[in-house]
Structure 1
């Protein structure tokens, strides 16, 4: 199937003999979690960029602890049995 649809991708630089790239593009489009993760990163970065930064109220220690806590909670949520059910 990928050999048949490869010519469709010629405008973006995929040559007809490079059907493997077509498979990668097609399956990559199916990996919606990658799309969601990318959009999350882009919108989060935009939100952070719009925040004002005040060096007097910034605490590196507090920020690091909050990041570790958020990461730990995310890991627990990811690997919990209720998520897998």
Structure 2
């Protein structure tokens, strides 16, 4: 595997990690709501963090796909 493909794999792993963070934050928000255990303002912050994780995950996945496509393209003066 060349370095570009490896970098694409690392970005893809980061994308999955960010998606997992969003899932954990969603679960936390649901538990807090069900137990009426947090002030309302906290949920706005949780929502913002969930959104940031989802956006980051999408952008990292897109970058990974583009880097993998570049890695699969014939090398033209590119070092491996």
Q: TM-score, normalised by structure 2?
A: 0.34
Q: TM-score, normalised by structure 1?
A: 0.33
When Rg is computed on C-alpha atoms for both structures, the one with the higher figure is 1
